[in-house]
Amino acid sequence: MNLRVDTVELPGGRIATREVVEHGDVVAIVPLLEGDDVLLVRQYRLPAEKVLLEVPAGGVDGGESVEAAAQRELGEECGQRAGRLERLGGFYVSPGFCNEFVHVFLATQLEPVESHPDPDEQLAVVRLPLPEALRLVSGGEIRDGKSIIGLTWAWAKVRGFTIE
């Protein structure tokens, strides 16, 4: 991550400064088990000062494909490997000041693998029916953007809607 301050010329010639947080790409995965249950992770997030319920996610390492990063994060955080990994879409987290881009995947045909969470991660895996997870979104209990978007896109995909 890097912070820079740019001087820009706006339309009309006015000069302004813009703070930009440079952040690498991120993957977010919606692990969908047979029967429409999803796996989420519960973990403390310092910037929010709260324990949040989220889809598994993490950064893309240098030279790593987004698909490989999604499989790695799924294994590290949930102890699963996807037999099928489908890209649902992607989005900028907050393009007014940050270039972070999140690639969202639906993971199906899951098989257990040994999990190796990062040493600084204290998380618990939570299994919920997808409709219950969406109720937690609408009720404000799931509050982070990648989880809200990922769960909504996964629900749309499972229901036969195309997001393009």
Distance of alpha carbon 157 from alpha carbon 47, whole angstroms: 31
CB 82 within 8 A of CB 31: yes
Q: How far is CA 113 from CA 53, 61, 78, 107, 108, in A?
A: 22, 21, 9, 14, 14
Q: What is the CA 84 to chain-centroid distance, rounded?
A: 17
CB 151 within 8 A of CB 138: no
> Which residues does the chain have with pLDDT short of 50?
none
Among all chains, which residue has been given the structure tokens 């969406």?
134
Q: Can you give the pLDDT at residue 111? A: 97
Domain ranges of the chain: 24-158
Q: Can you give the pLDDT at residue 163? A: 62
Q: Can you give the pLDDT at residue 164? A: 59
Domain boundaries 24-158, CATH class? alpha beta
Distance of alpha carbon 24 from alpha carbon 78, whole angstroms: 22
Predicted TM-score (pTM) of this structure: 0.91
